[in-house]
Amino acid sequence: MKQYVNICVMTAVAAAMISCENMKSDGVEFRTVTINDMYKLDVEVGNNPLGYEITTDMMFLQAKDENRKDVCEKINKSIISEFLTQDVCETPEEAIRKYIDEKIESYKLDVADVYKEEILKNKGSDDGYSYASFNHNTHLKGVASRGFDGIINYSLTEDSYSGGAHPVSYTTMMCFSVDNGERVHLEDVFCEGSDKKLVELLTDELMKAKKVDSVDKLKDMGFLAFTEMFVPDNFSLGPDSVTFFYNQYDIAPYSEGTTSLSLSYKDMKGLLR
């Protein structure tokens, strides 16, 4: 008798849990929106459901004072358009829900149909076929923090697994002016032509962090073996230093993970605007 695969959607947790963190006297505060969801296939591996799980924990700005409302909305829209959706959304909750729905639809199109085929093809097989590669997950973690005077730093880390050899983690960092809500870019911070000196400083900082005294020794460890040092767009502006963030594979193999290098404003004298 022909059996059909019954694929169901399960909303595990669809409530937004909001927590607020009071900030200083700039008229804004942070709130965290957490929304979790899961699309379930009809098979369990052990006691675990098989399917696609998405969890989101993202901080957004909200105004404590009415005159800061426009700035908060501007920064929130930048965060939403960068990480969640280009569509117009009234609230962060709506944007996250849209992101999750689109991810699940993509999973259903790209994975669920293949899963059906595999179930039918391997039905009754005793070769120990594993369906674990169909078990996908995504976790978004967005963190806002106060940095240099008048600057809000934002980092979004996406940890995901989609059936490959290992999970993938990717972090994007953004800086905003709390005065006008504009994004702050590298060219707003550093003088034109400063790249060469910054590369030297970053290379020295990497050697110091890895406790070696030459680039060749860094290469022996896997760093800069297949690329030159560069100044990444991923950075945050702290009270005393700029931190540059390199994702997996940027300057080192996956096994070395991510790399953060901080340069003090004092060490970058003459390079800053």
What residue spans define the domains of the chain? 8-177, 186-264
H helix runs in 108-257, sequence order: 113-122, 186-189, 195-210, 215-220
CATH superfamily of 8-177: Fervidobacterium nodosum Rt17-B1 like (3.30.565.40)
* pLDDT score at 10: 30
Amino acid identity of 195?
D
Q: Token match 């040092």: residue?
A: 229
* pLDDT score at 46: 57
186-264: CATH topology is Actin; Chain A, domain 4 (3.90.640)
**Those residues with Cβ within 8 angstroms of residue 124's Cβ, 6 or more apart along the chain or in another chain:** none
Report d(CA 13, CA 220) in Å as an integer.
47
Give pLDDT tens digits along the chain (273 positions): 333 223 232 333 333 333 444 445 689 999 999 999 999 887 655 566 788 999 999 999 999 989 999 999 999 999 999 999 999 999 999 999 999 999 999 998 888 778 777 766 766 555 555 677 788 999 999 999 999 999 999 999 999 998 877 899 999 999 999 999 999 999 999 999 999 999 999 999 999 999 999 999 999 999 999 999 999 999 999 999 999 999 999 999 999 999 999 999 999 999 999
Per-residue b/e over 216-251, b at no fewer than 16 CB within 10 Å? eebeeeebbeeeebebbebbbbbeebbbbbbbbeeb
**Those residues with Cβ within 8 angstroms of residue 37's Cβ, 6 or more apart along the chain or in another chain:** 11, 12, 13, 14, 53, 54, 100, 104
Containing H/E element for 12? strand 8-21
- With 0-12 / 13-18 / 19 or more C-beta atoms within 10 angstroms meaning exposed / middle / buried, residue 90 is exposed
Both tokens of 213, joined, read 């005294």
Report d(CA 73, CA 95) in Å as an integer.
13
Report d(CA 140, CA 74) in Å as an integer.
21
H helix runs in 129-258, sequence order: 186-189, 195-210, 215-220
* pLDDT score at 79: 98
Q: Token match 């070769």: residue?
A: 127
The residue among 227, 270, 240, 178 whose CA lies nearest residue 259 is 227
Report d(CA 54, CA 38) in Å as an integer.
6
Query: What is this structure's pTM?
Result: 0.85
* pLDDT score at 130: 65
Report d(CA 260, CA 249) in Å as an integer.
13
